Amino acid sequence: MKLVRDQEFQGYHDDADRRIIRGRVFSHLEFEHCLFVGCFLSVCKYPRQRSIWRHIRWIDCQAHACTVYAAILDEVEVRHLKVTYSPLFMRDTVFRHVTFTGKIGRIVILRDHNRTGRQRRRFDRAIQTFYQSVDWAIDISQAEFFECDIRSSIPAHLIRRDPETQVVIKREKALLGAWKDIDLSATFWPLVIEMFLESQAPDVVLVAPKANADFRKLLKGLQLLREAGVAEPD
């Protein structure tokens, strides 16, 4: 594995235009104490153009105003990641054996809502097909997030999590509306559940971020959701 240490990457764009038939493959790289500023991974219009990042380690790095688009992350470790200026958005990113550990900044995993019509359908099919052959996608059980918002197509059963601080809510339970009768005013869980219901996802994982100043309030909210039968009992 090639080690890259104490380097700064400014404005790196992993773009693919119409002439690109297959995305690039990056493998066996370890980034340690590196700074990424304004970097964008796997910007593409067709699923076949997605870049693959395989056997990669990001250790004690910082991401400033960066976005991961439709990359395929395979056998990846992210340990102690500082995120500044804006959350690290991961749009249409797919995961296989990706582990987050240590202190992790603001992470938002979601569908790319800038895709519409046929393009959106292509990526939805590609994402669904990808996860059919994955035994587990991401492991967030040992991470101390400042924020972790998962609003994507990762099936909840493919997420390795800490059941005490990270719970699953299924669509049929959320639709019953019992969560509206719980006092969650000190949390952002009502907004998260509403956004989940607006999506097409069958389930969602709610994460009480351990590095967040409101961790105790958010954790209490998850406990109330579980006691009311809204969150799965595990």
The more confidently predicted of residues 198 and 101 is 101
What one-character-per-residue DSSP string does the chain give?
Answer: -EEEES-EEES-EEE--TT-SS--EEEEEEEES-EEES-EEEE-SSGGG--EEEEEEEEEEEEES-EE-S-EEEEEEEEEEEEESS-EEEES-EEEEEEEEEEEEEEEEE--TT--HHHHHHHHHHHHHHHTT-S--EEEEEEEEEEEEEESS--GGGEE--TTTEEEEEHHHHHT-GGGGS--TTSSHHHHHHHHHHS--SEEEEE--TTSTTHHHHHHHHHHHHHTTSB---
Instruction: List the single range of 14-23, 79-88, 94-103, 148-157 with lowest mean pLDDT.
Output: 14-23
The more confidently predicted of residues 116 and 98 is 98
Q: What is the pLDDT of residues 132-189, one digit of tens each?
A: 999 999 999 999 999 999 987 899 999 999 999 999 999 999 999 999 999 999 999 9
Residue 14 clears pLDDT 90, i.e. is over it: no
Average pLDDT over residues 10-30: 85
pTM (2 d.p.)? 0.94
